[in-house]
Amino acid sequence: GALKDASSMQDLKLTPLALHHCYLIIVRLERIADQAKGIVADLPAANFSGHAKEEFQKLLQLLFGRYNDTMKSFYTGDREAALDIEVSGDGIIERLINFLDGFTRKCIADGRSKGNKSDITHPCMAATRIIDGMKVMAKYTGYIARVVMSES
């Protein structure tokens, strides 16, 4: 499309590099959307409750707040904000890993106390897929921030 057609680029008033950056962001947004779709599909099976539900909601709010900040930095061209987002990414990944570790330990302990191992697998697997999806979303949000930082 427009990446190969010079007249389209002129109509959009974009340089080839700026158009490429837009393309990279669109590809990453599609990946984030795919992960969000998978998370929604697995949520009922994970059956988060009590403290786990509260912590999951906090992590989700943190992740979507980071996503919103990234998109705001893209629209405003704020490279400083994009750098802050990129630097903070590892902390979110670590929190997600710790959440999953605690949830699976509780899930296994609950299953042992009930004596039914089949009840353990389904929520733990769903939670693993959810957290893996959230980690991918965090990484791709960081990748968008990198595109913002690379714009001149």
Tokens representing 100 are 């999953």
Q: How many residues does the chain have?
A: 152
Q: Render the chain in DSSP notation, one character per residue.
A: -TTT-HHHHHHHT--HHHHHHHHHHHHHHHHHHHHHHHHHHHHHHH---HHHHHHHHHHHHHHHHHHHHHHHHHHHT-HHHHHHHHHHHHHHHHHHHHHHHHHHHHHHHHHHHHT-THHHHHHHHHHHHHHHHHHHHHHHHHHHHHHHHH--
Per-residue pLDDT reduced to its tens digit, 64-95: 999 999 999 999 989 999 999 888 888 999 99
pLDDT digits over 22-61, tens only?
A: 899 999 999 999 999 999 999 999 989 999 999 999 999 9
* The pair of three-digit structure tokens given for residue 86, joined into one six-digit string: 């990129």
**Residue linked to tokens 């906090």:** 58
**96 with 9: CB under 8 angstroms?**
no
Predicted confidence (pLDDT) per residue in 115-135, tens digit: 665 555 688 899 999 999 999
Phi and psi at residue 3, in whole multiples of 5°? Answer: -65, -30
- Write the CA distances from 118 to 21, 112, 125, integer angstroms: 47, 10, 11
5 pLDDT higher than 60: yes
